[in-house]
Amino acid sequence: MQNKSYGLTLFTFLVYLFLLGPLILIAIASFEPSTVLKFPLTGFSLKWYKNVFEVGLFMSTFKTSVIVSLLGNFLALLLGVPAAYALSRGSFRGKNTLNAIFLSPVLIPGIVLGFTLLKFIIISLHIPIYAALLIGHTVIMLPFIIRVIGSSLSNFDFAIEEASLSLGSSRLATFFKVVLPNIRSGIIAAVLIAFLESFNNVDISIFMSGPGISTLPIQMLTYVQNYFDPTIAALSVMLMIFTAVIMFLIERLLGLSYFTKR
Amino acid sequence: MALLQLDNISVAYDQQYILKDFNLSLEKGQLLSLLGPSGCGKTTTLRLIAGFLDAKDGSFRFEGKDYTRTPINKRNFGLVFQSYALFPHLSVYENVAFGLRIRKVKDDEIRKRVMKMLEIVSLHGFEDRFPGALSGGQKQRVAIARALVIEPDLLLFDEPLSNLDANLRVNMRVEIRRIQQELGITTVYVSHDQEECFSISDKVAVMNKGVIEQLDHPSVIFKYPKTEFVGRFIGFNNFITFTERQADGDAVLLTVNGLPFRAKKVPGMSAGMKGAIRPDDLLAGTENEISEGPNVLDGTVKVSTYLGRSYQYIVETALGEFTVNKEMLSPFENGQRIRLLVPPEKLVLVD
Ligand SMILES: Nc1ncnc2c1ncn2[C@@H]1O[C@H](COP(=O)(O)OP(=O)(O)O)[C@@H](O)[C@H]1O
Ligand SMILES: [Mg+2]
């Protein structure tokens, strides 16, 4: 009994080491003073952290990333909330097909989706790059929004909607006064998850960027193709902290178990 | 004129008719129950009245106006659901105030009416609780208060007590009846529980497969079911199918297998050939206690069970099996030959 639980602890430790090891290495390496990423460290310096803020393209692409993710999030909510509502509320013909279509971006490889968007929509409709990025990211986020809010709606008791109608409330007022407040946590979770998904996206963004307009992950990719200094490591650490803060918020608001339940 | 009138209503779910040529009318201030087994269309009828379902055919008139196409939120009907359907994000106070806020009632007026209603449903002091912190009975009281506070023109209940335990069910139904009578509010009440419906209703409509088989005062239905279905549903377990029937003054003479029976004639009696009798109304005795004659059957005790107050026997006779209840100190034995007497005034003829 004792041995068995020691073995299990060791195993768990190894799994964590495997998962977190590279992240820890990157974090340590970001403090390397020399111009090449190295381990073990030859000294200690924060200069690469400072450098992140001095590379103008990092700052401008960060701004683009945030704007695109936030705006796209908003658009995805506008489309996704009614869609999730219709999908879990209604029983109509073609519901399953529609469900599949809305979720397909999760199943189709991002490269394929990105290429298709570029080739058949962006280029043929002459859509400007910034708008293209926005469209791409809305498409990335939509399935997450629909899925997470849909799961929240599946626990929603539609009888309370009927109660509201019977008390004289219109359908629209009922949606805002009764449905929305009861799926609020689902909406917050959906927004945060979709944001992370969009913010970290490479495979679709890469088709939607162009001269002067790019997202942070794409910019990082370009950077590592040309430089080997620890700036990327420093930036990665900052992004990890950024992500951790968002995950912490999700955990605080809903508990992570929210996502593993279904 | 009736307050509520359903004329030849039909409702169908994907081509399948649940209600067909359905008729119902209800007077102001009355409580009408829809009673029937699960799946017979009670909820469908209620949802049609509430406005959640559209009639395929027919019309619904209320206070003389055509309500057939009136949207739910314009009907001013109060609804109480089996699942309570309280708003989980609102306090008891706000739950009850919901309908008044939509009606743009002034705050101090809302306060007065909500507090009075909470008083009526005995929930004074619970204003700030949330539904999650209430028991089933309390939730149902909030639901009733919420439906009543808007002063609805009609109150609709769909099996409101079926999620409560037995004792509470009895208390709550008395409560519902009290409030309904106190406020004089016209009510349609759906349940599959016979006792519940009979105890609180002015009228009961017994439904079977989307059709009302009998609509009458509870006491009339209890004594004189019109059809075999209604009889069975309310506890007439014994049926005799007669082959001859003729009138004889204030009695009806009936025959089956050469055995003569008499039944008392009552106004509006069915012209059917089936006789029904409750296990409690059938008399059982030894051959010494009951002598041969009309309305008497010879039989053998097949099964005997103890019900607490009485014994229940399944008795095999020339006309099939009969169920009879009898209070006695020492029961009949299995296989014992006994006689059954069918009192003429208790033998009811049904379709
Ligand atoms: N949404 C629906 N779609 C298809 N059939 C339904 C639906 N709702 C109810 N039914 C059917 O209609 C019949 C009557 O249902 P209902 O009115 O709920 O009965 P009750 O309330 O008397 O138990 C049942 O046979 C049921 O299966
Ligand atoms: Mg029902």
pLDDT in tens, A169-186: 999 999 999 999 999 888
Name the residue among B72, B87, B147 with its Cβ closest to that of A160.
B87
Q: B201 and B284 share a domain?
A: no
Instruction: Give the Cβ contact number of residue B56 at 10 Å.
Output: 13
Name the residue among A160, A168, A169 with its Cβ closest to that of B85.
A160
Using the 3D structure, point to which of B229, B258, B281 is the last residue of a domain. Answer: B229
Whether B160 and chain A come into contact, CB under 8 Å, resolves to: no
Q: B216 and B346 share a domain?
A: no
Average pLDDT over residues A248-259: 66
Q: B183 and B138 share a domain?
A: yes
Contacts of the segment A16-20: beta carbons below 8 A, 24+ positions apart: none
Q: B220 and B269 share a domain?
A: no
Instruction: Give the Cβ contact number of residue B138 at 10 Å.
Output: 19
Among candidates B249, B199, B189, which has minimal Cα distance to B222? B199
Contacts of the segment B325-330: beta carbons below 8 A, 24+ positions apart: B325/B279, B325/B280, B325/B282, B326/B283, B326/B284
Among candidates A226, A204, A23, which has minimal Cα distance to A122? A204
Q: The domain containing residue B286 runs over which residues?
A: 238-350
Name the residue among A159, A169, A171 with its Cβ closest to that of B85.
A159
Contact A113, A177 (CB under 8 A): no
Q: Tell me, what's the ipTM?
A: 0.84
Ligand 1 neighbourhood includes B41 CB (under 6 angstroms) = yes
For A183, the closest chain B residue by CA position comes to B89
Q: B198 and B333 share a domain?
A: no
**Residues β-bridged to residue B261:** B254
Residue A260 has pLDDT above 80, yes or no: no
Ligand 1 neighbourhood includes B191 CB (under 6 angstroms) = no
> Quick one: tokens of B54?
């559209």
* Residue B16 confidence (pLDDT): 87
Q: Consecutive 10-residue runs of chain B (351 residues): their mean pLDDT?
A: 88 87 91 94 93 90 90 93 93 96 95 93 92 92 93 93 86 90 93 93 93 92 93 93 88 89 86 91 90 89 91 92 90 90 92 87
Strand arrangement of the beta sheet that strand B57-62 belongs to: B16-26, B4-13, B57-62, B65-66
- Residue B75 C-alpha, separation from nearest chain A C-alpha, in angstroms: 8
d(CA B285, CA A40) in angstroms, rounded, equals: 104
Note whether B150 contacts A178, CB cutoff 8 Å.
no
In a domain, A9, yes or no: no
Using the 3D structure, point to which of B178, B196, B229 is the last residue of a domain. Answer: B229
* Residue A261 confidence (pLDDT): 42
Residue A253 has pLDDT above 80, yes or no: no
d(CA B50, CA A163) in angstroms, rounded, equals: 11
For A172, the closest chain B residue by CA position comes to B73
Atom number, ligand 1, closest to the C-alpha of residue B158: 21
Q: The domain containing residue A132 runs over which residues?
A: 55-226
Residue A2 has pLDDT above 70, yes or no: no
Helix (H, G, I), strand (E, B) or coil at A211: coil
| Banded pLDDT at A262 (limits 50, 70, 90) | very low
d(CA B27, CA B188) in angstroms, rounded, equals: 11
Average pLDDT over residues A104-118: 83
Q: Which helix (H) or strand (E) holds B109?
A: helix B107-120
Q: Residue A241 burial by CB count (10 A; 0-12/13-18/19+): exposed, middle or buried?
A: exposed
Residue of minimum CA distance from atom 6 in ligand 1: B13
Whether A54 and chain B come into contact, CB under 8 Å, resolves to: no
Residue list, CB under 5 A from ion ligand 2: B 43
Cβ neighbours of residue B308 closer than 8 Å, sequence gap 6 or more: none
Give chain B's domain count. Answer: 2
Q: B181 and B162 share a domain?
A: yes
Contact B72, B51 (CB under 8 A): yes
* Residue B186 confidence (pLDDT): 95
* Residue A254 confidence (pLDDT): 65
Q: Dihedral through CA A48, CA A51, CA A53, CA A58, nearest 10?
A: -90
Average pLDDT over residues A152-169: 92
Helix (H, G, I), strand (E, B) or coil at A126: coil
> B160 alpha carbon to ligand 2 midpoint, in Å?
10
Question: Tokens 């306090």 appear where?
Answer: B91
> B39 alpha carbon to ligand 2 midpoint, in Å?
7
Size of interface A-B (CB pairs under 8 A): 60
In a domain, A162, yes or no: yes
- A residues 157-186 lying closer than 8 A (beta carbon) to B: 157, 159-160, 162-171, 173, 178, 181-182
d(CA A150, CA A86) in angstroms, rounded, equals: 9
d(CA A98, CA B189) in angstroms, rounded, equals: 39
Average pLDDT over residues A87-94: 80
Q: B242 and B189 share a domain?
A: no
Q: Which residues of A touch B81 (CB under 8 A)?
A: 159, 162-163
d(CA B202, CA A177) in angstroms, rounded, equals: 37
User: A153: domain CATH number?
Assistant: 1.10.3720.10
Q: Return the best residue to mutate from B10, B20, B43 for the ligand 1 pocket (most ligand atoms within 8 A of CB).
A: B43
Question: Tokens 């994907």 appear where?
Answer: B14
Beta-sheet pairing, B203-208 with B31-35: parallel
Q: B40 and B140 share a domain?
A: yes
In a domain, A18, yes or no: no
In a domain, A35, yes or no: no
* Residue A3 confidence (pLDDT): 63
Among candidates B62, B44, B60, which has minimal Cα distance to B52? B44
Question: Tokens 């109509």 appear where?
Answer: A92
Q: Is B300 left (phi over 0), alpha (psi -120 to 50) or beta?
A: beta
Q: B244 and B194 share a domain?
A: no
Residue A103 has pLDDT above 90, yes or no: no
User: B35: domain CATH number?
Assistant: 3.40.50.300
Give chain A's domain count. Answer: 1
d(CA A203, CA A100) in angstroms, rounded, equals: 21
Average pLDDT over residues A17-40: 85
Residue A196 has pLDDT above 70, yes or no: yes
Name the residue among A160, A166, A178 with its Cβ closest to that of B72.
A166
Helix (H, G, I), strand (E, B) or coil at B300: strand
In a domain, A29, yes or no: no
- Residue B229 C-alpha, separation from nearest chain A C-alpha, in angstroms: 32
- Residue A172 C-alpha, separation from nearest chain B C-alpha, in angstroms: 12
Using the 3D structure, point to which of B229, B253, B286 is the last residue of a domain. Answer: B229
Q: B59 and B182 share a domain?
A: yes
* Residue B330 confidence (pLDDT): 85
d(CA B74, CA B322) in angstroms, rounded, equals: 53
Whether B78 and chain A come into contact, CB under 8 Å, resolves to: yes
* Residue B340 confidence (pLDDT): 92
- Among A1-10, A197-206, B91-100, B245-254, whose mean pLDDT is lowest? A1-10
Q: B26 and B161 share a domain?
A: yes
Distances, alpha carbon B40 to alpha carbons B18, B34, B198, in Å: 8, 10, 18
Question: Tokens 């009510």 appear where?
Answer: B187
Most confident of A69-78, A198-207, A248-257: A69-78
Amino acid letter for position B342: V
Specify the pTM: 0.81
